[in-house]
Chains A and B, each alone.
Chain A
């Protein structure tokens, strides 16, 4: 039955092999549904052991990014000073979207509420260990991503409600794979339960956004798949080309993908460069916390 579903399968440039000193294997991009994605439990080779707080702070950086994107799209303003932490970095770009369809505004409001709740939950869980919001770029980043993805010289996800949905697509599947990868690294059962609760919410968001894009059709569906290909190229990790038959991003066993922190960093820094990359893209000064530079 698998062959009846076009497009389900991995789409990846490279995959990091756990325990092999960060050796990367090239995997050609292909839409073939039967190959097994080369995902592995995440490791950070060559670094000292990371703590649960390190991982939660890594997640908090991603939640800051998502919260700023959605809050600005819905309300025109981002996180409050209290929610961003002391000495928070500046946010570039991000304006209120003029929603013409009430339902899309309601979807956006819900996701904005969820991402704000995630920021607050993680900050509370981390207490004094919580990192503040790093500098975030929601303007040049999308333009650079659009250029790299072949969409065009510029892309403004705040220009209209359909562009907003494509902008949301940029983040959501990445969040799912990031939390999936991180879940295996957490040692505390309590934090694992929390991470599982957040990641399933991200998966709901992703499933919703992917559904909406298939309903929009061209050119937005094309843009989404160009972004998907860019994520695979920049960061590695598998992607599932979006179509009416492939709302879910998962492998041939119908199990969602995961990404290492390195892979996630390459994506949000919009850099496929090998070696140490510590800033760029959506985080012009890098993430805050201990997990902020790629190992390879």
Chain B
């Protein structure tokens, strides 16, 4: 058992009293569905949405593969090329990023998530075939430093420096993945792809919970950092409050990032882009994607 006695933390935002993003999300989805009906050519196709997801899976797969092996995904045998053969973009990361794990179960979790994210890349590439985008340029160094500054966690942040830093680095991605797939699910027209997207959405939620449980157990400093990151994500996505860090509120843990209805948040593709670009302009990119994403939704 690795439970640490926790002191109750005073959170600025209480998920039990906050408004539901779902209703907004539902309205947004309804609007998009309507838009697609009226202007069939302008709505995103299923391929557009799957490629949007593939960009995010490239980011996650690179982060976890580098953390667990010190190598990029192309170095361990995955393709970063497009379906048409265009070469993938470069990855910016510090030298020797392999994390020194001291907790065997945590190392095993990291290995599992690495495998899952690689599988998601491969699955989406296979589903998209010739339509698959190439990996965009990815930055796993300056991005974390900029995000740390924005979150008030210092001028630099190295997610590969320790187990706890790795957890916080993972935390940055996982909940965003959950909200992104949730937002995207309503846009997919194919029942088969919807089923797969929901299945990936679930897996990202399992990951998020495992990471957040570990952050909870890591103690109050790690919890506070997660809360600062969550606040920053909520600022970047424009909602101001639809994101909850790890802690304790009114005697209840906040392992789940959800609203007062017990539902996880949905983010639009625009909101997701704003987070992964670190506030950079749509179409231009920034932070984790310094030259923007590839595909039509970017």
For the complex, is A218 an interface residue (Cβ under 8 Å from B)? no
* Chain A interface SS verdict (over half): helix
Name which residue of chain A comes closest to B65, CB basis.
A1
Q: Is the CB–CB distance between A103 and B4 below 8 Å?
A: yes
Count CB-based A-B contacts (< 8 Å).
234
Which of B106-114, B230-238, B283-291 lies at the binding interface?
A: B106-114
CA distance in complex: A158, B1 (Å): 19
B251: A residues at CB distance < 8 A: 105-106, 109
Which of A146-154, A205-213, A222-230 lies at the binding interface?
A: A205-213
Which of A89-97, A241-249, A259-267, A276-284 lies at the binding interface?
A: A241-249
B294: A residues at CB distance < 8 A: none
Q: Is the CB–CB distance between B123 and A255 below 8 Å?
A: yes
CA distance in complex: A8, B208 (Å): 18
CA distance in complex: A207, B119 (Å): 18
For the complex, is B202 an interface residue (Cβ under 8 Å from A)? yes
Q: Is the CB–CB distance between A184 and B195 below 8 Å?
A: yes
Q: Is the CB–CB distance between A200 and B202 below 8 Å?
A: yes
A193: B residues at CB distance < 8 A: 22, 25-26, 29, 182, 185-186, 266
Contact of B261 among A109, A121, A210 (CB under 8 A): A121
A245-B111 in contact given A113-B16, A189-B33, A216-B1 (Cβ < 8 Å): yes
Q: How far is the CB of B54 from the nearest CB of chain A, in Å?
A: 14
For the complex, is A143 an interface residue (Cβ under 8 Å from B)? no
Contact of B200 among A201, A210, A255 (CB under 8 A): A255
Q: How far is the CB of A83 from the nearest CB of chain B, in Å?
A: 13
Interface string of B116-128 (1 = CB under 8 A from A): 1111101100000
Q: Which of A179-208 contact B (CB under 8 A)?
A: 180, 183-184, 189-190, 192-194, 196-201, 203-208
A251: B residues at CB distance < 8 A: 199
A258-B266 in contact given A109-B253, A193-B26, A194-B26 (Cβ < 8 Å): no
For the complex, is B205 an interface residue (Cβ under 8 Å from A)? yes
User: Interface size class for chain B?
Assistant: 35 or more
* Chain B interface SS verdict (over half): helix
B256: A residues at CB distance < 8 A: 110, 114, 201, 204-205, 208
Q: How far is the CB of B98 from the nearest CB of chain A, in Å?
A: 16
Interface string of B229-273 (1 = CB under 8 A from A): 000000000000000000010011111111111111110000000
Q: Is the CB–CB distance between B263 and A254 below 8 Å?
A: no
Q: Is the CB–CB distance between A248 and B3 below 8 Å?
A: no
Contact of B185 among A196, A211, A253 (CB under 8 A): A196
Q: How far is the CB of B187 from the nearest CB of chain A, in Å?
A: 9
Q: Which of A29-45 contact B (CB under 8 A)?
A: 41
A194-B254 in contact given A189-B29, A247-B112, A247-B210 (Cβ < 8 Å): no
Q: Lowest 5 A-B CB distances belong to which pairs?
A: A197-B263, A207-B209, A117-B262, A255-B199, A203-B205
Which chain A residues have a beta carbon within 8 Å of chain B's beta carbons? Answer: 1-2, 4-5, 8, 41, 101-107, 109-110, 112-118, 120-121, 176, 180, 183-184, 189-190, 192-194, 196-201, 203-208, 210-212, 214-216, 243-258
